[in-house]
């Protein structure tokens, strides 16, 4: 499902030292499969399945936190629900298509020598499999995601880990930028001093664009902001 983010006046293109990408809703269109697995999980947990709009709101933020805060599960219930969800979702993990034009932007950045990084709240092992299946993994200098045990799961923690790994290989992170689709991406990046460009084709809402550097509605606009 495409969001209704309103494009803002775009900031001028800059010389970025690294570009961090979110995965779900930014690179791949995974919402329908995630929502289906969430519905399965709620059914298996013996609770009413939320409506589609509510299920959609689970796409993006760390799922374990959402299960506690939004679904009202106890810690034990949330861990069990997460196990059910992952077991179901793994069957559909590699079906998500890449959004039109996004692969070209990633390939261009890599070709120009700009380090490309993944920073996602999806488990790192799953995220790696998605990028490998899409033929994009070789363009990424770093693939950072949530740890399987969810100890590292917030976007702020994932972005911090991505930046740490970049610095470890000698990349200047002072002029990094995040590309995402949700307010969680913006806030997590800002917690690490990184501005965010939000993409309109993802799963966000207009209210989530308030703290973004810019909002783009096409891969061509994104390319212009990242490489001029």
**Residues identified as active-site:** 22
Rounded to an integer, what distance in angstroms lies between the CA atom of residue 195 and that of residue 208?
A: 14
Cα distances from 104 to residues 23, 62, 107, in angstroms, run 15, 28, 5
């Amino acid at each position: 499902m495409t969001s209704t983010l309103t494009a803002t006046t775009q900031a001028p293109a800059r010389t970025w030292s690294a570009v961090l990408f979110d995965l779900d809703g930014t690179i791949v269109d995974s919402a329908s499969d995630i929502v289906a697995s969430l519905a399965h999980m709620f059914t298996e947990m013996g609770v009413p399945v939320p409506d589609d709009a509510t299920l959609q709101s689970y796409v993006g933020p760390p799922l374990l936190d959402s299960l506690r805060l939004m679904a009202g599960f106890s810690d034990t219930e949330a861990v069990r629900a997460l196990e059910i969800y992952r077991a179901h979702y793994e069957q559909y993990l590699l079906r998500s298509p890449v959004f039109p034009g996004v692969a070209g932007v990633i390939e261009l950045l890599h070709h120009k020598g700009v380090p490309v990084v993944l920073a996602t709240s999806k488990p790192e092992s799953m995220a790696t499999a998605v990028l490998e299946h899409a033929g994009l993994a070789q363009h990424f200098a770093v693939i950072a995601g949530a740890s399987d045990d969810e100890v590292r799961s917030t976007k702020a923690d994932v972005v911090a880990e991505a930046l740490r790994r970049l610095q470890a290989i000698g990349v200047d992170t002072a002029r990094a930028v995040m590309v995402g689709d949700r307010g969680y991406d913006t806030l997590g990046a800002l917690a690490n001093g990184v501005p965010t460009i939000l993409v309109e084709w993802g799963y966000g809402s207009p209210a989530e664009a308030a703290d973004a550097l810019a909002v783009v509605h096409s891969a061509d606009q994104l390319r212009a902001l990242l490489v001029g």
